[in-house]
Structure 1
């Protein structure tokens, strides 16, 4: 699996490291934290079982859009800031929730290796703690596509659709055998676990999703594919891998009902660049879900 990042790092499709400073918008809370006079948590911080995660929710529409951010490589980067422009285009009609995973952004750091089960639990727990009820539209970027897939497999009835922003997808792991050993996801496993900011091995999350391939729920999905950082221009020099990767993505999207693969003139990290395009895709998914 490859990644196109702003810094040109790595042969994996890691989310871009943001080097520009995004102006943080003042975010409305999700209705407060746990009730109780002894709770002294800062606004938008929620206990998910031994550590606190940041989540802000704005708007009060009947459907909640949940932003699932990409892989974070820079400890100083605040991922929820990336989606404020999209949020601002949706809040009149939707509830929009932006959360940061453990170890990144405004959430607390946990000094331990993170497992796929931990990542799923954190997402489940922060939504529950914030009183955020389904139905959800998952708006997932890059590595966040795998996190969204994990949630979808666990809670298919809670998700009415997804917008995938140049996202990773479970089928990619099956193509690793076409790459040299040093470029395969498993090669980076220990480095991801010990030394990455998020402290989770991407290959472990891929592996945890393999059983769900071919059993996707009957929901609409719009996949926004970057044309500025195309999937098959990743520096790996493997034409067979590139061709199979593009066809695998097409097949993955086609398993949804409907699945729409749309080219977008934007970089891989497109949230702050084309918020209007992404917001339009959210509304499209909602309309398609209503027709089901």
Structure 2
């Protein structure tokens, strides 16, 4: 039985040698498609081996609900880390302590991701944007920030930057969803597959309506002209056999990733050559180098 597309999308939504530039990966290192992954996962082993953290954990009220945030380091601009769908702050345990040697770094847990409070569902990516804005204001963190988003967190980061351009100094999109992803994949699926997928789109553990979120992202304003690095996995995990030719979906994904890098003048694409989707845990040094590239342009 084919895996629902939305489960694969959830993988998106939920270093080593890296090639930097505006060109896509070579045929020998294809851009990664959307692999399936556990929607609730513990901290990866590589993250557990990261340097001891000195992060300050806080619970911040954002209007009758509390969100959990952990910050460490000092220096501006503050780097804010946005995890994938159902992912929590532990996503960044291989990244945050090392970045904190240079700047202040904050990772947080969205609503419905413990230990943050629950929120009414369904939610959309616009709700995520509103919560992050409220969190930064209530916590006293200084803007503009460098926003780093993984998977669905990348979609949320794009939306935040488009909605609040004055609050964003730079963007790093790690294996990010593309606003057109849902429509472009569905164009190659059967009505039965789309029906199955649509049900999951509205029933995932974080309570995010993914279909509505993609539509919101398609209608969003352009990204601000800030330093942008797009980090793309270099290893494909394949596609369900029932979907047909995997090259079709590989091509869609490759085009989406390259398009993200061209949405801001001077944007670049970095290939995490040894990673599948989970670049923050598989090649954290590639993520760190991407963030430092943005910081270098700002400083």
* Fold shared per TM-score above 0.5: yes
Distance 2:138 2:78 in 1: 15
1:219 corresponds to which residue?
226
Q: Cα gap change, 1:245/1:200 in structure 2, threshold over 3 Å: closer, same or farther?
A: same
Distance 2:73 2:252 in 1: 41
| Aligned counterparts, 1:1-292, within 5 A | 10-14=7-11, 15=14, 16-17=37-38, 18=41, 20=44, 23=48, 26-29=53-56, 44-72=58-86, 79-180=88-189, 181-184=191-194, 188-193=197-202, 195-212=203-220, 215-229=222-236, 233-235=238-240, 236-238=243-245, 239-264=247-272, 265-290=274-299
Listed one character per residue, the Cα deviations across residues 97-156 of structure 1 (whole Å, up to 9, x for unaligned) are 000001113211224321333222111111111111112111111111111111111111
SS in 2 for 1:164: strand
Distance 2:55 2:252 in 1: 44
SS in 1 for 2:292: helix
Deviation >4 Å, runs of 4+: 19-27
| Stretches of structure 1 lacking an aligned partner (at least 5 in a row) | 30-42, 73-77
Distance 1:188 1:170 in 2: 17
So what's the TM-score if we normalise by structure 1?
0.80
Preserved CA contact (<8 Å) 1:188 1:201: no
So what's the TM-score if we normalise by structure 2?
0.78
Distance 1:102 1:109 in 2: 5
Distance 2:121 2:88 in 1: 21
Distance 2:252 2:122 in 1: 32
| Stretches of structure 2 lacking an aligned partner (at least 5 in a row) | 15-36
After TM superposition, the structure 1 stretch with the greater mean CA deviation from structure 2, 146-155 or 112-121, is 112-121
SS in 1 for 2:158: helix
Q: Which has the higher contact order (CA 8 A, sep 6+)?
A: 2
SS in 1 for 2:85: coil
After TM superposition, the structure 1 stretch with the greater mean CA deviation from structure 2, 79-88 or 166-175, is 166-175
Q: CA RMSD in A?
A: 2.7
